[in-house]
Structure 1
Amino acid sequence: MALEGEESVPIGAVSGGRSAKGRRLWKKVKYQLVEYHSLPGYLKDNEYILGYYRSEWPLKQILLSIFTVHNETLNVWTHLIGFFLFLALTIYTATKVPKVVDLQSLQHLPDVLKKADLQKIQSELLACLPSLPHLSDLQRIKDELKTSLGSLDMLPSLSRWHLLQLISDCLPHRFTHATNVSVLSAVKDDVANMIAPILVRPIPRWPFFAFLGGAMFCLLSSSICHLLSCHSRRIAYIMLRLDYAGIAALISTSFYPPVYYSFMCNPFFCNIYLGFITILGIATISVSLFPVFQNPEYRSIRAGLFFGMGISGVIPVLHKLVAFWHRPEALYTTGYEILMGLLYGLGALVYATRIPERWMPGKFDIAGHSHQLFHVLVVAGAYTHYQAGLMYLKWRDLEGC
């Protein structure tokens, strides 16, 4: 029975086409993007981004929204693409980088060997190998050396520098028939390059892969956070904790390659620096678990805490410069690390000050706001650090301690 002024609606109409049309219309309205003032309190973070928000959508719609335009689209994709970039770099590093000697250094080897008696060099080198310091066990496998280079896996680790010292000390005394000093010098270097992959064991790779793992964890957790946080208060809380943990993991593991490879020959300082940054990272993650930490008024504190973690790396870098001031590798890697620090620092500054959207609220809702710029700078800084890591590996692989 309809009240006065109401229009009766047939039951069939409710369960038929009209209700289906109504549900489609409701879904269209329900899953539309909303403005900042319509958000629940836990989703209000940046008042300078005025529109294009998703608010408390179901999981299916949220997952599909990765392919639609809203104010989190570029936040998701900038770090998701970065994750796949570092996944590819990790695979490349695992399959290609372990080669100790730069093969380009062997390109001129055939021309050199044409000018020298290779058989004579080989026999003389084999004759003097047992006199190597720390390689007395070579005498018992001397015969195997002549027949099978693969049997040298049992040898202790040597650096290319040690091999050059061997050849410099050995060949000039025994290879007396060489009259061309420049040819002999080139031969010595090339012989070292030839036998380095056999005698030299690559240094441990775990610090470098720890950094790559930290970078991938940070980038992937950030993408997931920006995608799913609009679902509910509980999911937003969990995702933000995951995001903060990823940032702390990236910063902490970024110190592992420079600290380990710079001080691998000085375990005291190596363990001190690695232990300190690890404890600081764990402490930062622990503090970020408190709910109050995610409130907008603590934005500057969040940025400052992570920025402080980055600044703490200045001490081991300065120590490295003092200890290896004569090494070009120390200078080159420091240049990369300074660039990385500038990129991270600029990203933290942009994030904390909310530039440029604070200058023109609403103009950068879709693209160009501070969080997107922060994401791009983080990926650039991490890639810069990857290049520094490759230089550390080459340095220590070729020279050891």
Structure 2
Amino acid sequence: MENEPLVKNYDSDEQDVRRRLLADRTISEPNHDKDGQSTYSRSRSTPSGDEKDDSIDTVLDVPTKCVEQAKEVGKLVVQYVVDHTHLPHWLLDNEYLVSGHRPPMPSFNQCFASIFRIHTETVNIWTHLVGTLIFVIIFFYLVTRPSSEVPIEKKITFGLFFLGAITCLLFSTLYHTLSCHSQQVSKVFSKLDYCGISILIIASFIPWIYYGFYCEFGTKIAYLLITALLGSGCIIASMWDKFATPEYRTCRALLFMAFGLFGFVPTCHYVLLFGFKYAFTTGAAQWLVVMALLYITGACLYAARIPERLAPGYFDIWFQSHQIFHIFVVAAACVHYYGLCVLSMHQPNFNDCRKGIAPAISNVVNSVFN
């Protein structure tokens, strides 16, 4: 019943268009009079006042109809969204996002179709979906390079980083797409989303520790083991059902921030080992600092729910804290990749490592036997 006025409006519009087309066709038909001159030519040469008014009205009606059609398309795009107060308890997350929420849609087809519609999760989906595609392209470009151009060890270490980034961004995209399906599906993909963050942090540490402590085998293994243990702890915490609830938003942010800040320990060790100047030029430590600032800033905005906390209802669709956090995550991963490229270009080879180790061993042997 609600659609009847809309249908009537469309019918009346079609009738108006048909009447105008018939009128134009009548005017344009070349009817010959007794003198052999067509009225068509006379009508084009000397149009009457009524014809001028009709043509002006037709021209003025075009933008009006375009605006009306755009409004109708907009209604079709957003007509299915609901306010925050109409959501079930398992979809309640951010009370400062007042409107534009998807209701429960127990169909995977509907959930994936919502990717192309406007709602509170649209930007969250597309930011990490685009990031996933970017890293997939770079990953395949890297692994398909010949070994003479990209060594096998670089393919492995960088490949682990790319796989971690792709896993994190893909899990996040799937969660924001399917979170409205059902409570059970939302819970499963929420856990995968948080596990993906831990995987990305672990994958980010691996190539930096590998190249940063290239000749320090024992130090390298120790830091990699500590990273794996801390990451496993975060993954286990992510499996806890209450971890995904809104009440633990700040705890989630602090946990992942603490895990990420562990990177300052090997960074400080690297600075002490090789010197400040070397670490922040050849060692590309400055890019680690930029990456950390991006992650921390995004996590703080996410935990504080800024800017939507300051103006509830004004950031429901665009520029909410979660969207900013997503953009910062992708930017931080890109910055980290650039820093790894700089660091790997200046890596020593195994011969240089042996040259550095041999004098140290001889000095130890001489001190023991002399």
Report the TM-score, using the length of structure 2 for normalisation: 0.70
CA contact (8 A) 1:324 1:330 kept: no
Provide, for residues 139-165 of structure 1, a one-character-per-residue CA deviation record: whole Å limited to 9, x for no partner.
xxxxxxxxxxxxxxxxxxxxxxxxxxx
**Structure 1 residues 97 and 344 mapped into 2: Cα distance closer, same or farther (>3 Å)?**
farther
Contact 1:320 1:330 in 2 (8 A): no
Q: Does the aligned pair in 2 maintain the 1:222–1:243 contact within 8 Å?
A: yes
**Conserved in 1, the CA contact under 8 Å of 2:97 and 2:312?**
yes
- Percentage identity across paired residues of the two chains: 38
1:330 Cα deviation from its structure 2 partner: 5.1
In structure 1, how many angstroms separate the alpha carbons of the residues matched to 2:155 and 2:349?
14
Distance 1:396 1:90 in 2: 21
In the alignment, which residue of structure 2 is the partner of 1:371? 322
Picking from 212, 216, 236, the partner of 2:186 is 236
2:94 is the counterpart of 1:46: yes
1:191 is aligned to none
Give the 5 Å matches for 1:294-373.
294-325=244-275, 328=278, 331-332=281-282, 333-373=284-324
Distance 2:192 2:343 in 1: 30
User: 2:338, 2:82 → 1: CA distance?
Assistant: 42
**Counterpart among 123, 126, 142 of residue 74 in structure 1:** 123
Which residue number corresponds to residue 37 of structure 1?
85
- Cα separation, 2, equivalents of 1:385 and 1:245: 20
Alpha carbons of 1:260 and 1:330: their partners in 2 closer, same or farther (altered >3 Å)?
farther
Alignment-derived partner of residue 11 in structure 1: none
Q: Contact 1:257–1:392 at 8 Å: present in 2 too?
A: no
Residue aligned with 1:361, SS: coil
Question: Does 2:199 match 1:249?
Answer: yes
Partner residue in 2 for 1:392: 343
**Equivalent residues in 2 for 1:279-298 (5 A)?**
279-298=229-248
Does 223-232 or 50-59 show the bigger shift?
50-59
Q: CA deviation at 1:90?
A: 1.1
**Distance in 1 between residues matched to 2:153 and 2:122, nearest whole Å:** 41
1:84 match? 133
User: How much has 1:262 moved relative to structure 2?
Assistant: 1.3
* Cα deviation digits, residues 192-232 of structure 1 (max 9, x gap): xxxxxxxxx66454222111110010011100000001000
Q: 1:352 to 1:278 in 2, by over 3 A?
A: same
2:61 aligns with none
**Which amino acid in structure 2 is aligned with residue 69 of structure 1?**
I
Q: Aligned equivalents of 1:42 and 1:211: distance in 2?
A: 33
Tell me if structure 2 keeps the 8 A contact 1:273–1:316. Answer: yes
Structure 1 gaps, min length 5:
1-27, 102-200
Residue 365 of structure 1: how far off its partner (Å): 0.5
Q: Deviations over 1:105-154 (max 9, x none)?
A: xxxxxxxxxxxxxxxxxxxxxxxxxxxxxxxxxxxxxxxxxxxxxxxxxx
Q: Deviations over 1:294-343 (max 9, x none)?
A: 11111000000000001111010111112222774653510110000000
Please, which moves more after superposition, 334-343 or 251-260?
Answer: 251-260
Look up the SS of the partner of 1:49 in the other structure. Answer: coil
How many residue pairs align between the two structures?
A: 275
Determine which structure has greater relative contact order: mean sequence separation of CA pairs < 8 Å that are 6+ residues apart, divided by chain length.
1
Contact conserved, 1:347 with 1:373, CA < 8 A, in 2?
yes
Whole-Å Cα distance in 1 between the matches of residues 99 and 306 of structure 2? Answer: 17
Q: Distance in 1 between matches of 2:129 and 2:109?
A: 19
Cα distance in 1 for partners of 2:85, 2:234 equals 32
Counterpart of 1:47 in structure 2: which amino acid? Answer: E
Q: Per-residue deviation at 1:55?
A: 1.8
Deviation at 1:283, TM superposition (A): 0.8
The whole-number CA distance in structure 2 between the counterparts of 1:375 and 1:308 is 18
Residues 326 and 226 from structure 1, CA distance in 2 versus in 1: closer, same or farther, beyond 3 angstroms? closer
Q: Which residue of 2 aligns with 1:216?
A: 166
In the alignment, the residues of structure 2 paired with residue 262 and residue 37 of structure 1 have an alpha-carbon distance, to the nearest angstrom, of 51
TM-score by length of 1: 0.65
CA gap 1:95/1:35 in 2 versus in 1, 3 angstroms: same
Measured after TM superposition, the shift of residue 397 of structure 1 is 6.2
What's the counterpart of residue 60 of structure 1?
109
In structure 2, distance between residues paired with 1:245 and 1:381: 18
Q: Shift in Å at residue 94 of structure 1? A: 2.3
Stretches of 4+ aligned residues off by more than 4 angstroms: 96-101, 201-204, 397-400
Quote the residue 2:54 is aligned against.
none
Decide whether the 8 Å contact of 1:329 with 1:392 is kept in 2: no
CA distance in 2, matches of 1:202, 1:221: 28
Shift of 1:96: 4.4
CA offset at residue 82 of structure 1? 0.3
RMSD, matched Cα: 2.3
CA distance in 1, matches of 2:233, 2:186: 22
Range 329-338 or range 252-261, more displaced: 329-338
Which one-letter code corresponds to 2:246 in the other structure?
P
Partner of 1:139: none
